[in-house]
Structure 1
Amino acid sequence: MDMSGHHTLRFVTWNIRGKRYKKSSKTEKLGLVLKQLTTLKASITFLQETHIGPKDTDLFENATSWKSYFTVYSTQSKGAAILLNKNIEQHYQYVRHDEEPTGSYIVLFCKLYGQSFTLVNLYNHANDKRVLETLTQYLQEMATGILVVGGDFNTVIDPDIDRIFLLDFPQTYNI
């Protein structure tokens, strides 16, 4: 809570480029990611390219400081997850969530601090031309409350600007 009595939510979006480093296990990399998110004081995190397949659904079991929602598709590509820090748990109410069948996005409907939110995390694979159109149509019909969209769009709007910055660390936004 800030000095004016408003609650601050810190959103972080991060393409983790798969759940493994070259020689580490999936849990080691996730542990490093979660440690960095704690350092960033993230309230809500959008992770992309999680590469969670059907045999990896226990990946977030050891992430006890986080409530996790994620897509399950392939260990080789795609994947999106939304993590909520347990420090906002008493101000959080789950409504429902939807997952895109090929792991491209997840949508979480919830209440935070009594306000309705639609949280969307997208990993738009560069070769997939329909995901953004499908998601846009879905959100026009279903979104309620405050809409927060994060993710990796793999879309260049202005090549002169967008291709200058090749960042390999999370982006943080406060609202």
Structure 2
Amino acid sequence: MTTIELLRWNVKGISNKTKRYKIITHLKSLESDVAMLQETHLKNTEAVKLRKRWVGQVFSAPGTGASRGVRTLIAKRLSFRLTQETVDKDGRYIIIPGFLHNIKCTLVNVNAPNIGQAKFLPRLNFFLDFSADPIVIGGDFNLVSDPAVDRSR
């Protein structure tokens, strides 16, 4: 079985050419196969700017507003064939079922809002329709995993 390097990163905007270059270069140095980026702040027409160097495929949910937009980048060296795509119009998630090295699976990239997670998270229940296959979920859920170490009020 092949090991796949998958990571997620809230980049807090990559419309700046220098920042975008540094992020793509860093992802390459980490030998990323799949990179799930949140808060990309790029228009859909600008997604082609991410398809450089090691990136072979870019899947986008651009959304509107400063804290939205998710992109899933897949390396050229990785065999991925898309079967369908579900894009949130608000840029909060993208669901991409397909074949990863001929294994059927679903990649889900999520950027939950900072407030109102209780209303947002049930919207994701529909991706359970893909549950017969392995599901890889990554993203920024804006949730606290351990309240004891949470620094917010």
TM-score (norm: length of structure 1):
0.77
The residue aligned with 1:65 is 54
Bigger RCO (CA 8 Å, 6+ sep): 1
Q: Contact 2:47–2:58 at 8 Å: present in 1 too? A: no
The answer to whether structure 1 residue 12 and structure 2 residue 7 are counterparts is yes
Q: Any runs of at least 4 consecutive aligned residues in structure 1 with deviations exceeding 6 A, and if so which?
A: none
Note closer, same or farther for the CA distance 1:46–1:142 as it changes in structure 2 (3 Å cut). Answer: same
Match of residue 133 from structure 2: 145
Counterpart-to-counterpart distance in 2, 1:104 and 1:42: 22
Q: Residue by residue, what CA displacement relative to the aligned partner does 1:41-60 show, whole Å, maximum 9, x if unpaired?
A: 11101001111235634432
1:94 to 82, 95, 99: 82
Deviations 1:69-125 (A, max 9, x none): 11122252211111001011xx32221211111000011111112111100010001
CA RMSD of aligned residues (A): 1.9
TM superposition score normalised by structure 2? 0.87
Contact 2:34 2:75 in 1 (8 A): yes
User: Secondary structure at 1:30's aligned position in 2?
Assistant: helix
Matched with 1:76 is 66
1:106 lines up with 2:101 in the alignment: no
Structure 2 portions without partners, runs of 5+? none
Q: State the match for 1:117 in structure 2.
A: 105
Give, in whole Å, the separation in 2 of the partners of 1:54 and 1:43: 22
Matched residues, number: 149
- The 8 Å contact of residues 95 and 127 in structure 2, kept in 1 or not, is answered as no
CA distance change for structure 1 residues 133 and 37 in 2, over 3 Å: closer, same or farther?
A: same
| Matched residue, 1:171 | none
Structure-1 separation of matches of 2:40 and 2:74:
16
Mapped to 1, the partners of 2:140 and 2:97 lie a distance apart of 20
Closer, same or farther: CA 139–147 of 1 in aligned 2, 3 Å: same
Report the CA distance between 1:16 and its aligned residue. Answer: 0.3
Q: Which runs of 5+ in 1 are unaligned?
A: 1-5, 21-25, 165-175
Change in 2 beyond 3 A, CA 1:105/1:74: same
Corresponding residue for residue 22 of structure 2? 32
Mapped contact 1:109–1:119 kept (Cα < 8 A): yes
Percent sequence identity over aligned pairs: 23
